[in-house]
Amino acid sequence: MAVEMQEAAVDLTLKILLLGDSGVGKTCLLTRFAHDSFDDKVASTIGVDFAVKRMSVYDKRVKLTVWDTAGQEKFRTLTSTFYRGAKGIILVYDVSRPDTLRHLEEQWMRELEMYGTESDAVRMVVANKVDVGEARRVSWHEGSDFARRHGCLFVETSAKTNVAVANAFEELVLKILETPSLLEDVGGAGAGTVRLDAPAAYTMYDYCYC
Q: Show pLDDT as tens, one digit a residue, over the chain (210 residues).
A: 333 344 568 899 999 999 999 999 999 999 999 888 887 765 454 445 788 999 888 888 999 999 987 654 544 555 778 899 999 999 999 999 999 999 999 999 999 999 999 999 999 999 999 999 999 999 999 999 999 999 999 999 999 999 999 999 999 999 999 999 998 877 643 343 333 333 343 344 333 333
| 53 domain residue, yes or no | yes
In this structure, are residues 202 and 56 in contact, taking their beta carbons and an 8 Å threshold?
Answer: yes
The pLDDT of residue 42 is 58
The pLDDT of residue 202 is 37
The pLDDT of residue 35 is 86
| 89 domain residue, yes or no | yes
pTM of the model: 0.81
| 147 domain residue, yes or no | yes
The pLDDT of residue 59 is 84
| 204 domain residue, yes or no | no
Rounded Cα distance, 127 and 101, in Å:
9
| 190 domain residue, yes or no | no
| 171 domain residue, yes or no | yes
| 70 domain residue, yes or no | yes
| Residue among 178, 180, 100, 165 nearest 136 (CA) | 100
Rounded Cα distance, 83 and 85, in Å:
6
Residue 44's CATH number = 3.40.50.300
Q: Based on the structure, what is the number of domains in the chain? A: 1
In this structure, are residues 172 and 124 in contact, taking their beta carbons and an 8 Å threshold?
Answer: yes
Q: How far is CA 67 from CA 4, 81, 84, in A?
A: 24, 11, 11
Containing structural domain, residue 104: 12-182
| 192 domain residue, yes or no | no
The pLDDT of residue 41 is 61
